Structure 1
């Protein structure tokens, strides 16, 4: 347990973290990877280059400081991050290394000595938080259907749109695939020719549980951010083998009597499509509203697949094209607004959001203005863990 003096010291660093947190975390990652370059086999290089990962870590430190006297408030975020750690292979032995370099970064960028009360307080805080992560992740590793990365063979490759291609995977050893929860993701480990380190990326499972395959539907991104997606699109073919971790993630559908509302932007449809299929299977009478925001018809993935599923009056599928090429295409044109959302939303429901960060922030704010309680809104970022409610 932290002492009251340590708690007060941590709280006093909140303004410092607001101003210098990203500077500290950027320096932390730089020095960590200089001395432990092998960790680049685990971490997303692009998130380092763009600053997304240092920003996310700085935000986590800030949240820990804000909630230092009630750390249970950040447990939901801890579980989200722990799922990603388990998915990429973060282990207990990594935590002392991370703690050492994080405290060194604080010392160097905040001009503090090793025995400064701030460093001592943050050292004690890190030990507590790290122990929580270690225990949570230990349980996740024990519950995972396989350890580490399992070789999976590409059984089918399907072009879904100008940007999205689906990959169907089956175990190379012929074993039966374990189930997963709709909304979960897997990590693929890509050994790309010419690259010194491996690249790990998470992709949502886009088909329903219980199928003889795992399906991911990958959007081709621009380089360098899209180094893995371009590798999958351009170089991976049917019969190739890709290492994959077991399904992970807590962005999962709940089976209640409330109407289900799925709100996707672009390739954010992938976990929501799995949820859509699952809900139709186990709750065939549950009202569903699936609203897709897409740039135009050419990049609209899985359009026919979703349309074929829409066979009941209690299911609504609305497509909004931001800039359609055909003026008659889709149900709505332009960006989704509070007014257009209000025309299709049920009086109450459970809401699931997934898509680009800007899209999710806009939709979250619109739903809040429409009076939707935050507890009824679930979402997932395709990237380092953040929150919509407090950032």
Structure 2
């Protein structure tokens, strides 16, 4: 089976993790600090904290900015539900905006319209910008909109390590950026994530919140100054992340090469739409959109019979039971999100694939769609 995604963990990485496990120093050691420093160097960021998951990073972002009950937070309608789940968990209200075709990112025009026409009892406080599948959102416009309306910008860069927008790494442009190291991402620590803060004060607050609300005092004792979380990353995860990061640039370039093969092989297929080839894209996922006449479940089944794994790309939040029932969203309220949720098809993409396999996948897809 050609897998949709396949994390690669080398024998050197396994050996390094084994050494950490045998050392007995499993948490809050130097390897976590090294991973944070190396991520900061790679992204040219000043303040990086590694955490237990991308969702933990998002939750910490909202908590650190003190967003909660009485607040409204804008998010795209097409994303993995964790993006908005954390809004609900903080007691705030998610306000959805549709996405653009091609990039699958939040539509700046509709974002602006949503802000101008907002009449809810909650106060708009922030925008969560998702860089979907590694495609950079239009951050210059979004940051200007946020500045005009005095809104925080939280970047959900879970899929976007290595994505560049206007010469800068995404996740480092807003007030806070959040990353994920899940096995489907470009580097993995099993579970894990990171959070990038714009200021030192925000960084310190995040570090306190991720570790039970503990503040270390000058005399060496500790105090619990705020109710916090246990969102720490382990030492053996950090050593894996460090080694994964060392070969990330090769993996990133390999993904870009494979996407070019997909584009060459599929651009003449009439029954699909290809993702936009955006500068700075890191290609965590390659999702096409099927023509309305094709039933995705059948296409997935036929591809599986030919030894190819495929799946949906992301969810339309307004169609998920919890959000649909609570906020009474209309089925067609966010048409692009609905289309991409129902007809989006993620094809295999990871550095272990060969160009011959991409060609086989493409040719097989052509046959299935005939």
Higher-Rg member (1/2): 1
TM-score normalised to structure 2 length? 0.26
- TM-score, normalising length from structure 1? 0.25
